[in-house]
Structure 1
Amino acid sequence: MSKYMLIMRGTDESNAAMMADIDHLMATTREFIEEMLKAGVLLAAEGLDEPRQGVVVDFSGEAPVVTDGPYGETKELFGGYFLLDVASKQEAVEWAKRVPAARGSKIEVRRVAGSDEVPQVDQ
Protein backbone atom coordinates (compact mmCIF):
# COMPACT_ATOMS: atom_id res chain seq x y z
CA MET A 1 0.00 0.00 0.00
CA SER A 2 1.10 3.54 -0.72
CA LYS A 3 -0.13 6.93 0.41
CA TYR A 4 -1.44 9.33 -2.21
CA MET A 5 -2.66 12.86 -1.73
CA LEU A 6 -5.53 14.10 -3.86
CA ILE A 7 -5.01 17.86 -3.88
CA MET A 8 -8.05 19.94 -4.80
CA ARG A 9 -7.15 22.86 -7.04
CA GLY A 10 -9.62 25.51 -8.07
CA THR A 11 -9.83 28.82 -9.87
CA ASP A 12 -11.91 31.85 -8.95
CA GLU A 13 -14.51 30.64 -11.45
CA SER A 14 -14.68 27.05 -10.20
CA ASN A 15 -14.79 28.25 -6.60
CA ALA A 16 -17.69 30.57 -7.44
CA ALA A 17 -19.51 27.65 -9.14
CA MET A 18 -18.90 25.52 -6.06
CA MET A 19 -20.35 28.19 -3.75
CA ALA A 20 -23.41 28.56 -5.98
CA ASP A 21 -24.39 24.95 -5.21
CA ILE A 22 -22.60 24.44 -1.90
CA ASP A 23 -25.37 22.43 -0.19
CA HIS A 24 -25.41 19.80 -2.95
CA LEU A 25 -21.61 19.71 -3.13
CA MET A 26 -21.27 19.23 0.64
CA ALA A 27 -23.85 16.43 0.62
CA THR A 28 -22.12 14.58 -2.23
CA THR A 29 -18.74 15.13 -0.58
CA ARG A 30 -20.01 13.59 2.68
CA GLU A 31 -21.25 10.57 0.67
CA PHE A 32 -17.88 10.31 -1.10
CA ILE A 33 -16.03 10.40 2.23
CA GLU A 34 -18.31 7.64 3.57
CA GLU A 35 -17.48 5.50 0.51
CA MET A 36 -13.76 5.97 1.08
CA LEU A 37 -14.12 5.16 4.79
CA LYS A 38 -16.09 1.98 3.99
CA ALA A 39 -13.41 0.99 1.46
CA GLY A 40 -10.74 1.54 4.14
CA VAL A 41 -8.63 3.91 2.03
CA LEU A 42 -9.22 7.33 3.63
CA LEU A 43 -6.54 8.52 6.08
CA ALA A 44 -7.45 12.23 6.19
CA ALA A 45 -9.59 14.82 4.43
CA GLU A 46 -9.47 18.52 5.11
CA GLY A 47 -10.36 21.76 3.40
CA LEU A 48 -8.30 24.91 3.56
CA ASP A 49 -9.43 28.36 4.65
CA GLU A 50 -10.07 31.03 2.04
CA PRO A 51 -6.92 32.28 0.24
CA ARG A 52 -7.43 35.82 1.55
CA GLN A 53 -6.94 34.45 5.08
CA GLY A 54 -3.50 33.06 4.23
CA VAL A 55 -0.06 34.51 3.70
CA VAL A 56 2.84 33.70 1.39
CA VAL A 57 6.38 33.46 2.70
CA ASP A 58 8.60 34.16 -0.32
CA PHE A 59 12.26 33.07 -0.25
CA SER A 60 13.25 34.75 -3.54
CA GLY A 61 15.43 37.41 -1.93
CA GLU A 62 17.99 37.71 0.84
CA ALA A 63 15.39 37.51 3.59
CA PRO A 64 11.95 35.89 3.53
CA VAL A 65 9.15 38.29 2.62
CA VAL A 66 5.63 37.72 4.00
CA THR A 67 2.69 38.84 1.85
CA ASP A 68 -0.98 38.62 2.75
CA GLY A 69 -3.22 36.52 0.48
CA PRO A 70 -4.77 36.17 -1.95
CA TYR A 71 -1.84 35.44 -4.16
CA GLY A 72 -1.88 37.82 -7.13
CA GLU A 73 -0.09 35.71 -9.73
CA THR A 74 -1.66 32.35 -8.87
CA LYS A 75 -4.29 31.09 -11.32
CA GLU A 76 -5.13 27.98 -9.29
CA LEU A 77 -5.35 27.68 -5.52
CA PHE A 78 -5.24 24.60 -3.32
CA GLY A 79 -8.58 24.19 -1.58
CA GLY A 80 -8.04 21.02 0.41
CA TYR A 81 -6.99 17.42 0.16
CA PHE A 82 -7.81 13.78 0.67
CA LEU A 83 -5.03 11.48 1.91
CA LEU A 84 -5.52 7.89 0.78
CA ASP A 85 -3.76 4.60 1.46
CA VAL A 86 -4.22 2.57 -1.72
CA ALA A 87 -2.51 -0.22 -3.64
CA SER A 88 -1.45 1.82 -6.66
CA LYS A 89 -1.32 5.16 -8.41
CA GLN A 90 -4.09 3.95 -10.71
CA GLU A 91 -6.36 3.26 -7.73
CA ALA A 92 -5.66 6.79 -6.44
CA VAL A 93 -6.53 8.16 -9.89
CA GLU A 94 -9.80 6.20 -9.91
CA TRP A 95 -10.76 7.75 -6.55
CA ALA A 96 -9.74 11.20 -7.82
CA LYS A 97 -12.04 10.83 -10.82
CA ARG A 98 -14.94 10.39 -8.39
CA VAL A 99 -14.28 13.49 -6.25
CA PRO A 100 -17.33 15.77 -6.25
CA ALA A 101 -15.84 18.88 -7.83
CA ALA A 102 -17.14 21.96 -9.59
CA ARG A 103 -16.57 22.34 -13.32
CA GLY A 104 -13.13 23.84 -13.93
CA SER A 105 -11.60 22.30 -10.81
CA LYS A 106 -8.63 19.96 -10.94
CA ILE A 107 -7.46 17.17 -8.66
CA GLU A 108 -3.71 16.68 -8.48
CA VAL A 109 -2.68 13.12 -7.51
CA ARG A 110 0.72 12.85 -5.79
CA ARG A 111 2.35 9.96 -4.01
CA VAL A 112 3.53 10.73 -0.50
CA ALA A 113 7.17 9.72 -0.14
CA GLY A 114 7.92 7.35 2.73
CA SER A 115 10.34 8.30 5.48
CA ASP A 116 12.79 5.74 4.07
CA GLU A 117 12.92 7.75 0.83
CA VAL A 118 14.05 11.02 2.41
CA PRO A 119 17.77 11.59 1.91
CA GLN A 120 19.67 11.13 5.15
CA VAL A 121 22.43 13.51 6.22
CA ASP A 122 25.55 11.88 7.64
CA GLN A 123 26.52 13.36 10.97
Structure 2
Amino acid sequence: MKFLLIMQVNPAVLEALTEAERDSIMAGHEDFMKAIRDSGEFIATQALADPANSVTVRGTGAVPAVTDGPFLEAKEFMGGYYMVDVDSKERAVELAQQIPDAKFSGLAIEVRPIMFEAGFDM
Protein backbone atom coordinates (compact mmCIF):
# COMPACT_ATOMS: atom_id res chain seq x y z
CA MET A 1 0.00 0.00 0.00
CA LYS A 2 1.34 3.39 -0.93
CA PHE A 3 0.88 6.49 1.22
CA LEU A 4 1.93 10.12 1.24
CA LEU A 5 3.21 11.34 4.58
CA ILE A 6 2.47 15.04 4.09
CA MET A 7 4.34 17.51 6.26
CA GLN A 8 2.08 20.39 7.29
CA VAL A 9 4.22 23.45 7.95
CA ASN A 10 3.37 26.52 9.98
CA PRO A 11 6.03 29.22 9.42
CA ALA A 12 5.27 30.92 12.76
CA VAL A 13 5.95 27.66 14.60
CA LEU A 14 9.21 27.11 12.71
CA GLU A 15 10.37 30.67 13.39
CA ALA A 16 9.71 30.22 17.12
CA LEU A 17 11.98 27.16 17.31
CA THR A 18 15.54 27.53 18.49
CA GLU A 19 18.38 26.98 16.05
CA ALA A 20 19.16 23.70 17.84
CA GLU A 21 15.54 22.54 17.41
CA ARG A 22 15.60 23.41 13.69
CA ASP A 23 18.92 21.58 13.33
CA SER A 24 17.43 18.54 15.08
CA ILE A 25 14.58 18.49 12.57
CA MET A 26 17.02 18.53 9.64
CA ALA A 27 19.20 15.80 11.16
CA GLY A 28 16.09 13.81 12.01
CA HIS A 29 14.97 13.89 8.37
CA GLU A 30 18.36 12.52 7.29
CA ASP A 31 18.03 9.68 9.83
CA PHE A 32 14.42 9.02 8.81
CA MET A 33 15.29 8.84 5.10
CA LYS A 34 18.12 6.42 5.81
CA ALA A 35 15.84 4.21 7.92
CA ILE A 36 13.05 3.96 5.33
CA ARG A 37 15.56 3.41 2.52
CA ASP A 38 17.16 0.60 4.52
CA SER A 39 13.73 -0.94 5.23
CA GLY A 40 12.75 -0.80 1.54
CA GLU A 41 9.70 1.38 2.26
CA PHE A 42 11.04 4.59 0.67
CA ILE A 43 9.78 5.64 -2.77
CA ALA A 44 10.37 9.40 -2.95
CA THR A 45 10.47 12.66 -1.05
CA GLN A 46 10.03 16.27 -2.13
CA ALA A 47 10.30 19.56 -0.26
CA LEU A 48 8.10 22.35 -1.59
CA ALA A 49 8.75 26.09 -1.76
CA ASP A 50 6.77 28.51 0.38
CA PRO A 51 3.27 29.20 -1.03
CA ALA A 52 4.31 32.82 -1.61
CA ASN A 53 6.10 31.41 -4.66
CA SER A 54 3.01 29.71 -6.11
CA VAL A 55 -0.13 30.57 -8.00
CA THR A 56 -3.44 28.72 -8.17
CA VAL A 57 -5.42 28.13 -11.36
CA ARG A 58 -9.16 27.87 -10.54
CA GLY A 59 -12.05 26.85 -12.67
CA THR A 60 -14.27 29.89 -13.17
CA GLY A 61 -15.79 29.08 -16.53
CA ALA A 62 -14.25 29.06 -19.99
CA VAL A 63 -10.98 30.68 -18.86
CA PRO A 64 -9.59 29.55 -15.49
CA ALA A 65 -8.63 32.32 -13.07
CA VAL A 66 -5.08 32.61 -11.69
CA THR A 67 -4.59 33.84 -8.12
CA ASP A 68 -1.63 34.10 -5.74
CA GLY A 69 -0.83 31.16 -3.49
CA PRO A 70 -3.10 28.30 -2.57
CA PHE A 71 -5.14 29.99 0.19
CA LEU A 72 -4.18 33.50 1.26
CA GLU A 73 -5.67 33.07 4.74
CA ALA A 74 -3.98 29.73 5.53
CA LYS A 75 -1.53 29.52 8.43
CA GLU A 76 -0.32 26.03 7.49
CA PHE A 77 0.71 24.65 4.15
CA MET A 78 2.04 21.46 2.59
CA GLY A 79 5.80 21.77 2.99
CA GLY A 80 6.71 18.45 1.45
CA TYR A 81 6.06 14.76 1.58
CA TYR A 82 7.47 11.29 1.75
CA MET A 83 5.96 8.62 -0.50
CA VAL A 84 6.23 5.21 1.11
CA ASP A 85 5.18 1.66 0.26
CA VAL A 86 4.15 -0.17 3.43
CA ASP A 87 2.14 -3.21 4.49
CA SER A 88 -0.65 -1.30 6.24
CA LYS A 89 -2.10 2.05 7.23
CA GLU A 90 -0.89 1.36 10.75
CA ARG A 91 2.70 1.12 9.49
CA ALA A 92 2.27 4.41 7.57
CA VAL A 93 1.09 6.07 10.80
CA GLU A 94 4.03 4.54 12.69
CA LEU A 95 6.42 6.04 10.11
CA ALA A 96 4.66 9.42 10.29
CA GLN A 97 5.23 9.44 14.04
CA GLN A 98 8.97 9.06 13.38
CA ILE A 99 9.20 12.19 11.20
CA PRO A 100 10.94 14.78 13.39
CA ASP A 101 8.39 17.53 12.68
CA ALA A 102 5.76 15.47 14.52
CA LYS A 103 7.55 16.06 17.82
CA PHE A 104 6.78 19.80 17.80
CA SER A 105 3.43 21.31 18.74
CA GLY A 106 1.93 23.19 15.79
CA LEU A 107 3.48 20.96 13.11
CA ALA A 108 1.74 17.90 11.72
CA ILE A 109 2.06 14.93 9.39
CA GLU A 110 -0.99 13.96 7.33
CA VAL A 111 -1.14 10.28 6.32
CA ARG A 112 -3.04 9.89 3.05
CA PRO A 113 -3.42 6.73 0.94
CA ILE A 114 -2.53 6.96 -2.74
CA MET A 115 -5.43 5.90 -4.97
CA PHE A 116 -3.83 6.34 -8.42
CA GLU A 117 -0.37 6.98 -9.71
CA ALA A 118 1.42 7.50 -12.99
CA GLY A 119 4.88 8.67 -13.94
CA PHE A 120 6.89 6.81 -11.33
CA ASP A 121 9.03 3.97 -12.65
CA MET A 122 8.22 1.29 -10.13
Query: TM-score normalised by the shorter chain: which range applies?
Result: 0.7 to 0.9
Contact preservation (8 Å) 1:18, 1:25: no
In 2, Cα distance between the equivalents of 1:78 and 1:23? 20
Q: 2:108 aligns with which of 106, 109, 119?
A: 106
Pairing 1:87–2:79 present: no
In 2, Cα distance between the equivalents of 1:75 and 1:58? 21
Alignment RMSD (CA, Å): 2.0
- The offset of 1:47, in angstroms, is 0.5
Structure index of larger Rg: 1
After superposing the two structures, state which structure 1 stretch, 74-83 or 16-25, moved more: 16-25
Q: How many residues align?
A: 113
TM-score if structure 2 supplies the norm length?
Answer: 0.81
Contact preservation (8 Å) 2:14, 2:22: no
> Where do 5+ consecutive residues of structure 1 fail to align?
116-123
Q: Which residue in 1 is equivalent to 2:15? A: 16
Amino acid at match of 2:22: I
Contact preservation (8 Å) 1:17, 1:103: no
Distance verdict in 2 for CA 1:25–1:82, change over 3 Å: same
After superposing the two structures, state which structure 1 stretch, 89-98 or 48-57, moved more: 48-57
**Identity among equivalent pairs (%):** 36
Q: Secondary structure at the match of 2:98?
A: coil
In 2, Cα distance between the equivalents of 1:13 and 1:3? 31
TM-score if structure 1 supplies the norm length?
Answer: 0.81
- Equivalent residue runs for 1:57-96 within 5 Å: 57-59=57-59, 61-62=60-61, 63-69=63-69, 71-96=71-96
Deviations 1:55-91 (A, max 9, x none): 11122x2231111237312232000000000000000
- The offset of 1:15, in angstroms, is 3.3
Q: Secondary structure at the match of 1:4?
A: strand
> Where do 5+ consecutive residues of structure 2 fail to align?
118-122
